[in-house]
Homo-oligomer: A and B are copies of this chain.
């Protein structure tokens, strides 16, 4: 916590962005409107239009901010640990469910009706998927299998976010560990996988 809201003196661009993100996560893009936002911040829109050309400029800033904040952090946090790929993968799952996904959900909903946003989100998805896939490759799966398993892992998380009814962290943790076990297990009745031991 650095300075959140209502430190009465002067607002800066970043303050609007922070507030915007909050509203975005809470109520969707359609709800981030300049006048209500101004009311929320206890100023008038006179302030807003000093910092931003128009509403669209704020929206652009929100998207950029989101990319900046999430894109690297998780992957970097996982890579920071010294461990084998399988452990990293588990760690990735664990970290991922620490987020309630509200912000990301709102952005995905937004992306549905805005191709510019969709492109950005797609880029982020690609990056995260590739990272996950590489982990599976390192674990020892063939590329095609690594791809499918990475997708299952990632899509599951996204799906869990968009469904988003889970609250019990302990339960989620247990499940995520089971998922990890299932996804890293060598199948015994199929022609699909040859795991090179480790």
Contacts and interface: CB of A to CB of B under 8 A. Distances in A.
Given A152-B152, A158-B163, A159-B156, A181 B192 contact: yes
A149 interface: yes
Given A159-B154, A162-B159, A27 B182 contact: no
Contacts of A22: none
Interface of A: 27-28, 30-31, 102, 105-106, 108-109, 112-113, 122, 125, 144-145, 148-149, 151-152, 154-160, 162-163, 165, 175, 178-179, 181-183, 185-190, 192
A28 B182 contact: no
The dominant DSSP class at the A interface is helix
B192 A178 contact: yes
A179 B158 contact: no
7 contacts: A27-B113, A31-B113, A108-B162, A148-B182, A155-B160, A185-B185, A185-B188
Contact of A188 (B30, B144, B160, B186): B186
Contacts of A178: 144-145, 148, 192
* Ranked 9 nearest A-B pairs via Cβ: A155-B159, A185-B187, A159-B159, A109-B109, A158-B159, A155-B156, A30-B30, A148-B178, A188-B188
